[in-house]
Structure 1
């Protein structure tokens, strides 16, 4: 009997030891290391709510040159981007073509000039009457005007000083009356037109400041809104807005593609956090805050988005420790280790 009791006791002790060993193993398996995260202290600040748009620059004064006769392009004297003076020749059409009448008017002008100079000499010598001299002078002026007009038809000049923004023909092309030849824009003052969504147009005001970014030089030029469309474009459903800027540095050129920055609103004493810190859990915006080595989920109400940051309307308080990196690996009440805090 004693032997049976001893055997039973040994078995019970063995079972107890195995059970304890299993529990210790489970506890070891369940014990997880603290998750490393980065965080920042929540603070309030004043921010500018900026909106970005795109557009192409044009000269405030800009002119397009069209062909007035049908002739071939003989030569092009400028390139796109060149600066030209007012009345500077930019291209030449064929002077020998039948449409220009250049050669005929030139011959008539030279003959009239020669006759006028002859009559002028004779009139001073008293050899011809004043009536004959006046007739020669009138004929000379008429022929010169005709020749000048014919010259302007083939010797194409820039009506204004500025930058050549486009050359729309090539040497040898045969152009028709009314065909676009070139565009010249004055670059001292520039204008840019951009499209604004209907839900943003209310913030636009005449005279409001805009910044135009030259992405090649990473420089900004200030301008002012000069015009706002009263109705939306029927195709794009957007409102066209125009701004004027002084091109003092001459860095900007007509035809350049630029980004326009506009401060739509200034928010004072608001909490702003990185957009990446927000997690969507159970279809709700949530963030993790750190407290005593643990991460806790908090529901937040979000406001306006501002270039990667977002305004928090409620759910966070000043000096909360917001987890900004590593939050995707967390659950509520997870043990954490903060490696960096801003």
Structure 2
């Protein structure tokens, strides 16, 4: 027997041994497949049960989407410009004396509200009063002299020139008296207008001069507001424009009216200065406070205004969804003025349309909806 024959016999023996070892397992596997327990049966079972699971998880067919709608109406719309400004006093002045002297009386308390003409302070005027008394004596003498000269002139006992000298002397004394009375009047300081006295910077007995600051008098009713707007709105603003504003520390919205417009544009800032007035009977508007202002440029009474969230942006523009016969329709619109919450619809909507305001993400054109709330 050669080597090739021996190798063939050895390979055959090994193959027979392997077959005898795996025969029981192959027989068992064949029985399982015939009984439907193999991978194929499992795949078929899984494929049969999957549609049932999906059907249980998905929404029921034909159920209408719940939405909220609003009935479109024409409303008042204000075109506004947002800016900032400062509260200023209606009237404000530093109380100062026109003459120098020692203070002999202070007749106000800090924080008091005073009426126009009320005496606030007196300065020593003893020397002026003495001069006035002397002039009054000279006045009496000059009047008697002028009277005698007049009678003599009527009798032609003196010349007219002599009479005119006595008359001029009397008139000079009278003028000196009036000048002295004016000086005395300056020693009494009076309130130039109704207002509130601020802090006092002198004391009784102080020597003051025209440069001495005594106190500040402020009138805040009505209050004024200074604010600026860009130059491009110069042709739009005018006297009478309404404003709405809030101040720091208060959420209350107040109103005012523009009463003065600067007739030129500031070349440094390219802005125009405006001044408005607002009632302040409760004196809660304090000069110097910061204000957020909405300047009403124009008002329209027939504008269609909808919530901002009801408008859906597209590549070609904007659209809204309306309900007609319980079905959704997509309507392209043209928008106008925007505010923080609303947007004006210039084209696309009509009064009486039912506009979808919530649930917009769940609807599509042609789908049925159930209206759960009408605004």
Same fold (TM over 0.5): yes
Change (3 A) 1:78 1:254: farther
Aligned pair in 2 of structure 1 residues 201, 324: CA closer, same or farther (>3 Å)? farther
The aligned runs of 1:192-341 (5 Å cut-off) are: 193-206=226-239, 208=240, 210=242, 226-234=259-267, 236-242=269-275, 263-267=296-300, 269-278=302-311, 285=318, 287-290=320-323, 300-306=333-339, 308-316=341-349, 318-327=351-360, 330=361, 333=364, 337-341=370-374
For 2:350 and 2:298, the matched residues in 1 are separated by 23
1:68 to 74, 98, 114: 98
2:113 touches 2:197 (CA, 8 Å); kept in 1?
A: no
Q: Is the 8 A contact 2:109 2:197 kept in 1?
A: no
| Equivalenced residues, count | 315
Give, in whole Å, the separation in 1 of the partners of 2:255 and 2:32. 100
Give the structure with the larger helix fraction: 2
Classify 1:68/1:326 alpha carbon distance in 2 versus 1 (closer, same or farther; 3 Å).
farther
> Which is greater in Rg?
2
Equivalent residue, structure 1, for 2:131: 108
Unaligned runs of 5+ in 2: 1-30, 149-162
More strand by share: 1
Given candidates 77, 84, 87, the residue that maps to 2:115 is 84
Shift of residue 272 of structure 1?
1.3
Backbone CA RMSD of aligned residues: 5.4
**Helix, strand or coil at the partner of 2:270:** coil
| TM-score under structure 2 length normalisation | 0.57
1:42 to 58, 61, 72: 72
How far does residue 304 in structure 1 lie from its aligned partner after superposition? 0.8
What's the counterpart of residue 7 of structure 2?
none
Give TM-score scaled by structure 1 length: 0.62
Aligned 1:117-196 pairs, distance under 5 A:
142=176, 145-146=179-180, 148-152=182-186, 154-159=187-192, 162-164=193-195, 167=198, 169-172=200-203, 177-178=210-211, 181-183=215-217, 193-196=226-229
The CA deviation at 1:274 is: 1.7
Contact 2:243 2:296 in 1 (8 A): no
Structure 2 CA distance for partners of 1:81 and 1:35, relative to 1, 3 Å: farther
Q: Is the 8 A contact 2:244 2:255 kept in 1?
A: yes
- Residue 319 of structure 1: CA displacement? 4.4
